Structure 1
């Protein structure tokens, strides 16, 4: 009986390749390929992708593995790690940062969902992009308010929709690469000549390059979601790093092949001449051109657009609800957040919290009404997300530095780097890279975009600092 139990437990353990595939679908998406190509001068981005994977992504993923292994019983993710290593007050700020980063992200989901809907219905974006910006933003705001209401109803079916849309988008991303690489053999007409010589792959290290690095950091982030699975592996100390290296190779191959496929379609000179148009519509044009190569019209683009509609809007609701539940449902919330924000309705949704999200994200949507053109709005939101979202990764590295540099000893079945000093240095390196990319990403030659990139994190940080003070007065 004991042997059978052991065999059953072993069978339930996760193989390294299973973890790699699961993490791959979580971390990677087609939008990363498109943004990399647009922001980094076409195939020149390959050099930056390789450096980012080797010097940042691999150590980041392996640190996450160690944190997940040490705090295997913790369900709060990054906030739980910070709480265990640095205390509850700092854990509150970690939780607040994670939530605050979603404010800009939420506003971009409404904008992206409406654009996807226009592509899906009209199969052309010309009229949408030339429409009055104020009208578009008001429609986006109305849609956003409706989804805030949906979030307050606690609809669990949206999680299923988001999962289906995410899986379909992942399949579409791989399909694009496979079909595009095969396209020249089937239909060589209309392909652009590719020059992959070493000289053409070296990027131009100017201000645009360094202020765009946050785009790549944002693209490879988020692997802390797989941390709960470290201890479910057959041999964590060997299998987890093997899985993470496999993940890095898969992502790198997809990034390189996806970039090569984009290079066969889009001339970099045209991309630079119509930058905001490509940021907003590049993914749709890619599938539209792919359909043309295979003589199936807009079929692939329409499938991609409808998948994106479901994905953007279901993610919008989940992004309103899930981060808010993580923040306000934590033990730290009871001590540092005013009781009015902790009010829940019969569906378990934090109604006043949703009001707070509505005001903050709604303000970003409405303030962009004065921006000239829908493509500019979308480009601003892409840059704002790339600047703000990676800020949450700072807490992963802070927790790792505190874990390895602190006096308190924690047991782990998996250790990334055995040498304590070297572990702290690597954690500090990733922290510094993330912070530098976020700070540099704030810069923009456009005054409105620059102001948005500066004021958004300042206002959200300020609010996070004020709430514990309000709570203190409330208790007094």
Structure 2
């Protein structure tokens, strides 16, 4: 009894802080401001209330109901349905990292260009084919490094994660205070006009929701801590609500800060790639410290991206091969080298990511458009894994008598199912409309259609491969067993 009590050492503030560092970052603010301008302030409030809070509380109940599963989505699906669905959940969790891995080399190169050149000319002048060729070399180098072990990079990633969090907070504090301390001119006119913050709810607006969903996703990583929380039924939801408030305040204040530095009515095309650096450069000049903030952010972003690249090559693959039923995975993928690395799994990862690095450069002729497209592709593909969280929650609501938990989001199974269905629908809706390219079609029609084709083909191809593997496994595994 005492051991169980002692184990429940997390309090609501621990949960809130842990969740905040897990799901939030400065780029979430920059990317969504680039899509919507200061109208994103209203969008942040809506997405927090209608999506993020229910999402985190559903995750809390799932984590509490399956505390022995370690919080893995595929484990939840397996307990609630069958091994085949669990395999597809594990596959989705792994395969959505392919676009994520494809963009990390780009981010590293942008960071290094700001570190050594002190400006954003790289993203404007570089050849897409040259950059993607260099991205491929960087990626393959990290595949090799990951095959040797990721412990050092993991530790560096933790340090860089804390530093990135600190830089995000520093940006908000300096950005909001700069006009009052240094008397610089506010870039966006009419910041006191309420109409500046009201989105135009048209088709173009709804194509940008996927980036908001992408920004607030990932709270399932906190689920293992539900049962380590003291008085979980009260303190966990309180921590999640405080987390939502913290994220909302950071998003809103961050958007205000960018609006003071960048004119919301004339958003630069390269804001997603260069926005954070330009903002830190502006603040550095305003506070008379030159490029100090730029250098700090560039170094932090480079280390964090490098660590995330190496870790994300290995960790999702381990989850796929470790959690999924082996009869759905060809035995060749399970082969390990002397360091315990699934070497053929690494090769599959390398092939898929290499295709996604090179093919887009053949049809997207401007580097900034390529950078923005790949970031948008991430916002389409990555939320696909959240669909399994909501499906698991809906299945849990139908089996409440069988799976008890210390913490309940809602006690009525029908209301709970409704929340899960709503979140599932909103995520799917955002992913589908997010496929529409964000560039102006009139500027380069062929590039627009090429991007649309890739946005549709890529998720379908990634899902289709997951459907094909069990058939390959059924044939090859039996042949191997006979040998």
What TM-score results when the alignment is normalised by the length of structure 2? 0.94
CA distance in 2, matches of 1:87, 1:127: 49
- 2:428 counterpart residue number: 435
CA distance in 2, matches of 1:200, 1:119: 32
Does the Cα contact within 8 Å between 1:76 and 1:326 map onto a contact in 2?
no
- Residues 257-305 of structure 1 deviation map (CA, whole Å, 9 limit, x = unaligned): 001111101012331xx32x11211111111111111011111011101
Shift in alpha-carbon separation, 1:451–1:331, aligned structure 2, 3 A: closer
Does the Cα contact within 8 Å between 2:102 and 2:356 map onto a contact in 1?
yes
- 2:403 counterpart residue number: 410
- 1:472 counterpart residue number: 474
Shift in alpha-carbon separation, 1:128–1:457, aligned structure 2, 3 A: closer
Does the Cα contact within 8 Å between 1:10 and 1:234 map onto a contact in 2?
no
- Aligned with residue 27 of structure 2, among 15, 27, 31: 31
Question: What is the alpha-carbon root mean square deviation over aligned residues?
Answer: 1.5
Does the Cα contact within 8 Å between 1:394 and 1:434 map onto a contact in 2?
yes
- 2:12 counterpart residue number: 16
The correspondence of residues 221-370 of structure 1 with structure 2, limited to 5 A, is 221-271=217-267, 274-275=268-269, 277-332=270-325, 334-370=326-362
SS in structure 2 of the partner of residue 379 of structure 1: helix
CA distance in 2, matches of 1:238, 1:341: 44
Shift of 1:11: 8.0
Shift of 1:459: 1.0
- Residues 286-341 of structure 1 deviation map (CA, whole Å, 9 limit, x = unaligned): 11111111011111011101111111111011111100010012251x11010001
- Aligned with residue 379 of structure 1, among 372, 375, 397: 372
Shift in alpha-carbon separation, 1:353–1:300, aligned structure 2, 3 A: same
CA distance in 2, matches of 1:421, 1:207: 32
Shift of 1:453: 0.8
Shift in alpha-carbon separation, 1:38–1:194, aligned structure 2, 3 A: same
SS in structure 1 of the partner of residue 288 of structure 2: coil
The correspondence of residues 28-177 of structure 1 with structure 2, limited to 5 A, is 28-40=24-36, 42-75=37-70, 77-127=72-122, 129-177=124-172
Further displaced range: 118-127 or 163-172: 118-127
CA distance in 2, matches of 1:57, 1:240: 15
- 1:213 counterpart residue number: 209
Does the Cα contact within 8 Å between 2:8 and 2:227 map onto a contact in 1?
no
SS in structure 2 of the partner of residue 329 of structure 1: helix
Shift in alpha-carbon separation, 1:421–1:51, aligned structure 2, 3 A: same
Further displaced range: 232-241 or 127-136: 127-136
Q: Which runs of 4+ in 1 moved over 6 A?
A: none
- Show structure 2 runs of 5+ residues with no match: 442-447, 479-483
Shift of 1:85: 0.5
CA distance in 1, matches of 2:203, 2:404: 44
Shift in alpha-carbon separation, 1:32–1:161, aligned structure 2, 3 A: same
Does the Cα contact within 8 Å between 1:129 and 1:374 map onto a contact in 2?
yes
- Aligned with residue 420 of structure 1, among 383, 388, 413: 413
Shift of 1:369: 2.4
CA distance in 2, matches of 1:311, 1:408: 44
CA distance in 2, matches of 1:159, 1:187: 39
CA distance in 2, matches of 1:309, 1:128: 16
Does the Cα contact within 8 Å between 1:194 and 1:263 map onto a contact in 2?
no
Shift in alpha-carbon separation, 1:331–1:130, aligned structure 2, 3 A: closer
CA distance in 1, matches of 2:319, 2:134: 29
SS in structure 1 of the partner of residue 403 of structure 2: coil
- 1:448 counterpart residue number: 450
Shift of 1:152: 1.0
Does the Cα contact within 8 Å between 2:179 and 2:185 map onto a contact in 1?
no
Shift in alpha-carbon separation, 1:458–1:127, aligned structure 2, 3 A: closer
SS in structure 2 of the partner of residue 346 of structure 1: coil
Does the Cα contact within 8 Å between 2:330 and 2:477 map onto a contact in 1?
no
Shift of 1:194: 4.7
Does the Cα contact within 8 Å between 1:62 and 1:244 map onto a contact in 2?
yes
Does the Cα contact within 8 Å between 2:74 and 2:89 map onto a contact in 1?
yes
CA distance in 2, matches of 1:407, 1:189: 58
SS in structure 1 of the partner of residue 284 of structure 2: helix
Does the Cα contact within 8 Å between 1:118 and 1:128 map onto a contact in 2?
no
Does the Cα contact within 8 Å between 2:281 and 2:294 map onto a contact in 1?
yes
Q: How many residues align?
A: 467
CA distance in 1, matches of 2:289, 2:25: 24
SS in structure 1 of the partner of residue 150 of structure 2: coil
CA distance in 1, matches of 2:406, 2:426: 28
CA distance in 1, matches of 2:132, 2:458: 18
What TM-score results when the alignment is normalised by the length of structure 1? 0.95
Alignment of 1:191 with 2:186, yes or no, is yes
